[in-house]
Amino acid sequence: MDIIEQNKIRMNRLSANSDGLLRQIQSLDWDELETALVECIFKKEESGLSDEYGPASYFPIIPENPVQKTLYEKAYKHGENLIREAKTSAFTVAGGQGTRLGYNGPKGTLPVSPIKAKPLFQMFAEQILGISRKYNVTIPWYIMCSPLNLEATTIHFKDNDFYGLGRDNLKFFAQGVMPATDFKGNLLLASKDSLALSPNGHGGSLKALIESGSVADMASRGVEHVSYFQVDNPLVSTINPLFIGLHDLQKSDMSSRSLTKTGPFEKLGNFVSTGDRISIIEYSDLPEEKALEKEADGRIKYRAGSPAIHILRRDFIEQFASGERKLPYHRAEKKVPHINENGKLITPTEPNAVKFETFVFDALPLAQNPLILEADRLEEFSPVKNKTGVDSLESSQSDQIKRARRWLENAGCKILDNCLIEISPLVFPSKIDIERKNFHNFDFKKNLIYLD
Ligand code: UTP
Q: Which residues line ligand 1 (CB under 6 A)?
A: 93-100, 144, 175, 199-202, 204, 230-232, 385
How many alpha carbons fall within 13 Å on the CB side of residue 222? Answer: 9
Torsion over CA of 313, 315, 320 and 324, rounded to 10 degrees?
-130
Residue nearest to atom 9 of ligand 1 (CA): 98
Same domain, 37 and 6: yes
Would you give the DSSP letter of residue 437?
A: -
CB-based contacts of 100, cutoff 8 Å, min separation 6: 385, 386, 387
Tell me the per-residue pLDDT of 371-383, one tens digit each, with 9 for 90 and over. Answer: 999 999 999 999 9
Mutate to test the pocket of ligand 1, among 202, 283, 355 (most ligand atoms within 8 A of CB): 202
Q: From the centroid of its chain, how far is CA 253?
A: 17
The CA 294 to ligand 1 mean position distance, Å, reads 32
Atom of ligand 1 nearest to the CA of 93: 25
The CA 97 to ligand 1 mean position distance, Å, reads 6
Give the H/E segment covering residue 27: helix 19-27
Identify the pLDDT of residue 322: 86
Same domain, 109 and 243: yes
Mutate to test the pocket of ligand 1, among 110, 112, 142, 230 (most ligand atoms within 8 A of CB): 230
The CA 211 to ligand 1 mean position distance, Å, reads 20
Same domain, 68 and 109: yes
Same domain, 373 and 395: no
The CA 96 to ligand 1 mean position distance, Å, reads 3
Mutate to test the pocket of ligand 1, among 91, 92, 97 (most ligand atoms within 8 A of CB): 97
Look at residues 338, 362, 384 and tell me which one is the last residue of a structural domain.
384
Same domain, 46 and 118: yes
Residue nearest to atom 28 of ligand 1 (CA): 201
Same domain, 196 and 230: yes
Same domain, 297 and 332: yes
Residue nearest to atom 27 of ligand 1 (CA): 201
Same domain, 322 and 394: no
In DSSP terms, 197 is beta-bridged to 179
Same domain, 80 and 167: yes
CB-based contacts of 146, cutoff 8 Å, min separation 6: 95, 96, 97, 174, 175, 177, 199
CA distance to 139, 186, 259, 274, 354, per residue, from 87 (Å): 8, 46, 26, 31, 40
The CA 135 to ligand 1 mean position distance, Å, reads 31
Q: Which domain holds residue 410?
A: 386-452
The CA 93 to ligand 1 mean position distance, Å, reads 8
The CA 109 to ligand 1 mean position distance, Å, reads 14
Give the H/E segment covering residue 69: helix 66-84
Look at residues 359, 384, 409 and tell me which one is the last residue of a structural domain.
384
In contact, 24 and 194? CB cutoff 8 Å = yes
Residue nearest to atom 2 of ligand 1 (CA): 96
Q: Name the H helices within 136-272.
A: 150-159, 204-211, 214-221, 241-249
Any idea what the CATH number is for the domain that residue 193 is in? 3.90.550.10
Same domain, 10 and 118: yes
Residue nearest to atom 14 of ligand 1 (CA): 230
In contact, 379 and 403? CB cutoff 8 Å = yes
Atom of ligand 1 nearest to the CA of 200: 28
Atom of ligand 1 nearest to the CA of 357: 28
The CA 335 to ligand 1 mean position distance, Å, reads 16
Total structural domains within the chain = 2
Residues of the chain with pLDDT under 50: none
Residue nearest to atom 20 of ligand 1 (CA): 230
Would you give the DSSP letter of residue 147?
A: T
Would you give the DSSP letter of residue 423?
A: E
Atom of ligand 1 nearest to the CA of 97: 7
Tell me the per-residue pLDDT of 185-231, one tens digit each, with 9 for 90 and over. Answer: 999 999 999 999 999 999 999 999 999 999 999 999 999 999 999 99
The CA 356 to ligand 1 mean position distance, Å, reads 13
The CA 141 to ligand 1 mean position distance, Å, reads 18
DSSP string over 328-353: PPEEEEE---EE-TTS-EE--SS--E
Atom of ligand 1 nearest to the CA of 231: 21
Burial 147-180 (b: 16+ CB within 10 A, else e): eebbeebbebbeeeebbebeeebbbbbbbbbbbb
Question: What is the rounded distance in angstroms from the CA atom of residue 316 to the CA atom of residue 294?
Answer: 35
User: Quick count: other Cβ atoms within 10 Å of Cβ 308?
Assistant: 22
Residue nearest to atom 1 of ligand 1 (CA): 96
Identify the pLDDT of residue 444: 85
Residue nearest to atom 15 of ligand 1 (CA): 230
Residue nearest to atom 18 of ligand 1 (CA): 96
Residue nearest to atom 25 of ligand 1 (CA): 95
Same domain, 276 and 423: no
Same domain, 406 and 448: yes
Look at residues 384, 414, 429 and tell me which one is the last residue of a structural domain.
384
Atom of ligand 1 nearest to the CA of 383: 3
